[in-house]
Chains A and B, each alone.
Chain A
Amino acid sequence: MRASVLALVAALAATPASAFTIYVTNEKGNTITVIDSETLEVTGTFDAGARPRGITISPDGTELYVCASDDDIVNVFDTETLKRKHTLPSGPDPELFVLHPSGNPLYIANEDDNIVTVVDVKTRRVLAEVPVGVEPEGMGVSPDGKIVVNTSETTNMAHFINTDTFEIDTNVLVDQRPRFAQFTDDGSLLYVSAEIGGTVAVIDPAKGEIIKKIEFEVPGIVPEALQPVGVRVTEDGKKVFVALGPANRVALVNGETFEVEKYLLVGQRVWQLAFSPDQKFLYTTNGNSNDISVIDVEKEKVIKSIPVGEQPWGVVVSPN
């Protein structure tokens, strides 16, 4: 099995299904809600720093990384004790980041300074600062770890950063306010959502060209409310899930034809998504209804919603 941008969740997909832990950042609650994937019960809540948003986990499942946006740091928590171990320098107002498939370094988007900060999670040092477009946000890494893609929300580009040289190789113009970048597990495609543009660009990363633009349409929902943010793709590349923000739906897109097959009704203002390691389930954060929805990936159905803290933002699932 290949290393993957979904390394944090997918790399251990071969492991037999068992109980995993779901971690949800609550932006307004300043907490992280801990959920047992087996029972789907909340097992705990702990303080996460001021305005926790982006969250990810080390490939071995021992460390949680959380952007504490209003503290201008990344907090690192021990998943055993749920205690803060230390912090990482992040640059101001960190919102989203992505971990190299090997578990190091961490690439952080700094919205205020138009840079991507590269931080070594072991030495806790800044390795590089890469100037990108205005308001960097979305971060994706290619499965081989050679390219990090950053999206800039006002420049409206996906910037391809070479992880060896920290130089930008390619820039692809997309629609307004790109929020999220997600590679397929085989690295052949890159999905970039444009929240205000209302589209998801399907990019051929080798050529740096857009090959399709996915649009959305839901009867009874005004087009302005169809605001794609989080994107996740199954390991086989066949199912693409797109969170549609205030449309309160997750679109299921066919990863071969790029046609929308279904809209799944979830909670209000759905932004971020995460798979369980076995990819049987997808969890969605619903910021305005203070809950997460659980989607059965095979049955393509929403099976449960779980109340969490105030304004859930990000979600990650332990690999083990």
Chain B
Amino acid sequence: MRTVIIILALLLWPVIARAADPLTVSIGILKVEREMPLPLSRLDLPPDDLGFAGAELGKSDNNTTGRFLGQTYEVTTASASPDDAQSALDTLIDNGVGFVVLMGSAEDVLSLADHAKDRDVLLFNAQAEDDILRTDECRANMLHVASSRATLADGLAQFLMWKRWSKWFLIVGSHPEDEAFAEALRRAGKRFGAKIVEERVFEDTGGGRRTDTGHVLVQKQMPVFTQRAKKHDIVIAADEAQVFAGYLPYHTWDSRPVAGSAGLRPVGWHPANEAWGATQFQRRFEKIAERRVRTLDFQVWLALRVVGEGVTRTSSADPATVRDYVLGDDFELGIFKGTKVNFRPWNQQLRSPVLLANDRMIVSVSPQKEYLHQVSQLDTLGYDEPESRCSLN
């Protein structure tokens, strides 16, 4: 049997990289600061340089490559309250920044994208996971490098179905973001054939996050809260506000594993990942930041690598030129998750595998290979083109 071969002469544009005209690429990083409650575990306290450290590594990686091409990458960072975010963005753009990586809520990044719609700048959403940004409220001047809640939930669901753990006991927090993640989990359950046999709401009644010997109370509260649920294979928590999920493992009434916001978590990145060259990424980051990498750091780094790859391949720092290239068919990027990634043109979401991790180890990586798709296996995760109202490109 003769197998088809394809030699794509068409792809052979000038690939030789010699020091061309010097080019300076200015990238802004803007964090919209909001008051956050303390996490349940002191291990999860956010570092001051969260996200910015990822930018530092992205700049360094881009400059190592840029050195061979006469390209220099500069990064300007800014933090602002939600009220001051627009003027902070204006300042960055006025100072000649062509690309801005945003860390903020869906509301923040949407208002910034609308505010900058007539400016010559390309924005990256590195944090907001809200599906509405990918299904209805898409913006031509904003690319998403953060995975959406639906993508994360689908990644988890595929693995649970592979395990044949199809009966889910869903516990949802009382905050809007908890409900948004719960909705993504319900959708994932329906898509992949799981059944939510029981659903409960865990009310946030406020109070201190951590108390001395608080575990004594937790040990009594959580079993009581989870008792007499219908027969289930796994407990799934939707608790983005971090009120209760961290308490669930080992405290459920029935001896069942926990997933979602605690236990087995679907994440964009994890500091334990060491496959596909990730060890080198982790070590480069740890050398710069003197701490472990968090998902937000990874996603800011990712945005800078998208810019770097776009500039390297087009020899241009023009935001429109880079945008056209990275949204096109020729763009591809290796991100230490085992497969090349590119953008969904209709909603400008980066296709990306989902890591399934416990606190210390990578357990699995989705998409699971049994789930096929006519375009890309990565499109078995999250909202696919026919389910999205966006048709940007």
Residues of A within 8 A of B (CB): 93, 111-112, 114, 131, 133-135, 137, 152-157, 159, 168, 170-177, 195-198, 201, 207-219, 222, 224, 258-260, 262-263
A137 to B280, CA, bound (A): 11
Given A93-B280, A173-B16, A210-B15, A154–B68 Cβ distance below 8 Å? no
Q: Across the interface, which residues of B come within 8 angstroms of A159, CB to CB?
A: 68
Interface status of B195 (Cβ within 8 A of chain A): no
Q: B18 touches which one: A112, A171, A213 (CB < 8 A)?
A: A171
Q: Across the interface, which residues of A come within 8 angstroms of B7, CB to CB?
A: 212-215, 258-259
25 A-B contact pairs sorted by A residue (CB < 8 Å): A112-B280, A112-B283, A131-B67, A134-B61, A135-B277, A154-B281, A154-B305, A168-B68, A170-B16, A170-B18, A171-B17, A173-B313, A177-B277, A196-B332, A197-B334, A197-B340, A208-B18, A209-B16, A212-B12, A214-B7, A215-B5, A217-B4, A222-B372, A222-B377, A258-B7
A37 to B293, CA, bound (A): 46
- Contact pattern, B 309-324, Cβ under 8 Å of A = 1, otherwise 0: 1001100000000000
Contact B5 A174 (CB under 8 A): no
Interface status of B6 (Cβ within 8 A of chain A): yes
Please name the residue on chain B nearest to A137 by beta carbon. B277
Contact A217 B6 (CB under 8 A): yes
Q: Across the interface, which residues of B come within 8 angstroms of A201, CB to CB?
A: 15
Q: Across the interface, which residues of A come within 8 angstroms of B18, CB to CB?
A: 170-171, 208
Interface status of B333 (Cβ within 8 A of chain A): yes
Residues of B within 8 A of A (CB): 3-9, 11-12, 15-18, 61, 64-65, 67-69, 277, 279-281, 283-284, 305, 309, 312-313, 332-334, 339-340, 369, 372, 376-377
Main secondary structure, interface of A, reads loop
Contact A262 B333 (CB under 8 A): no
Q: B16 touches which one: A153, A168, A208 (CB < 8 A)?
A: A208
Q: Across the interface, which residues of B come within 8 angstroms of A153, CB to CB?
A: 277, 280, 334
Q: Across the interface, which residues of A come within 8 angstroms of B284, CB to CB?
A: 112, 134
Please name the residue on chain A nearest to B373 by beta carbon. A222
Contact B68 A171 (CB under 8 A): yes
Contact A157 B17 (CB under 8 A): yes
Q: B65 touches which one: A157, A212, A218 (CB < 8 A)?
A: A157
Contact B340 A176 (CB under 8 A): yes
A156 to B69, CA, bound (A): 12
Q: Across the interface, which residues of A come within 8 angstroms of B69, CB to CB?
A: 171
Q: Across the interface, which residues of A come within 8 angstroms of B9, CB to CB?
A: 212
Q: Across the interface, which residues of B come within 8 angstroms of A216, CB to CB?
A: 5
With most chain A CB atoms within 10 A of its CB, the pick from B8, B17, B332 is B17
Given A155-B64, A262-B3, A213–B17 Cβ distance below 8 Å? no
State how many angstroms separate the Cβ of B338 from the closest Cβ of chain A: 8
State how many angstroms separate the Cβ of A60 from the closest Cβ of chain B: 34
With most chain A CB atoms within 10 A of its CB, the pick from B277, B309, B372 is B277
Contact A217 B372 (CB under 8 A): no
Given A133-B65, A222-B372, A173–B5 Cβ distance below 8 Å? no
Contact A174 B277 (CB under 8 A): no
State how many angstroms separate the Cβ of A96 from the closest Cβ of chain B: 12
Please name the residue on chain B nearest to A178 by beta carbon. B334
Q: Across the interface, which residues of B come within 8 angstroms of A262, CB to CB?
A: 3
Contact A176 B12 (CB under 8 A): no
Q: A173 touches which one: B6, B15, B376 (CB < 8 A)?
A: B15
A152 to B61, CA, bound (A): 11
Q: Across the interface, which residues of B come within 8 angstroms of A135, CB to CB?
A: 277, 280
Please name the residue on chain A nearest to B60 by beta carbon. A134
Given A112-B280, A196-B332, A222-B372, A133–B339 Cβ distance below 8 Å? no
State how many angstroms separate the Cβ of B7 from the closest Cβ of chain A: 6
Known: A154-B305, A213-B12. 12 other contacts (CB 8 A): A111-B280, A133-B68, A135-B277, A156-B334, A159-B68, A170-B18, A171-B69, A196-B334, A207-B16, A212-B7, A213-B7, A213-B8
